[in-house]
Structure 1
Amino acid sequence: MSIKQRPNERKKGRDRLTNHLSLSVSRMPFSVSVYICIIDRLVSELDRRYWSFNDVCENFGFSNKINLMSPKDLRPAALSLKRKYNSDLEEDFVEQVVQFRQFVGDRKMTSMSSLQLLKLLRQ
């Protein structure tokens, strides 16, 4: 009976592990720089969009709470919008907004979305 010998396995040396680590370390600066660049771009785009939507909200935000505002508070907001879009809005825009507020106020609604306002106009 002969005894079969197991083939000798070569042990992996430290150099193989070191090569793998050096490869990942060399990729690290590239990955970090790309990641930081992408995050920086994302933050700047979000910031730009925030200020754009903030401007829209300042201009048109009063329309979402038109039925809750008094005519005294509504006139300056409508006048500000009229000044920004002078060529697009008629001269009596401010008074039309105040009259519309009275129309909406007669409906006894406490909160109203823009979609609900459009539905009111279609009635």
Structure 2
Amino acid sequence: MLFQRGGVLVLSGRKYRLKLTAGQAALCEEFGNICRVVWNTGLDQRRQYRQREAWMNYVPQAAELADAKRDHPWLTAAPSHVLQHTLKDLDRACLPGAWNIQGEVALEDALGALVPFPHREPHHRGTSRP
């Protein structure tokens, strides 16, 4: 939810605790794994384009995702809108200024949350997770 407070746009949200069945949890995990592959593949593709001093964004990657789903049927297990939103999130994270000097995505600044990558430990803010 986006609203204005004192002349400043503020992004607000709500937290919900889901109680999933075992089947639902397995499906969510499968969707999450597919989204992770789409994110990492899209990020790698953007890095390769950047090394060639070219630019890649959401539009061509979404078109390539549609082609990839024909070549890799396991991608069809996740709903299309979920995968498209993953690419939109990546596009937002890769806005100019979201990259630090070392070339890693500064997701904490771009998205307001730290997305765990294999070389990082997940960081949970304001939650009491074990």
- The interval holding the TM-score normalised by the smaller chain is 0.3 to 0.5
Higher helix content, 1 or 2: 1
- How does the TM-score come out when normalised to structure 2? 0.31
Bigger share in strand: 2
Q: Which has the higher contact order (CA 8 A, sep 6+)?
A: 1
Which has the larger Rg? Answer: 1
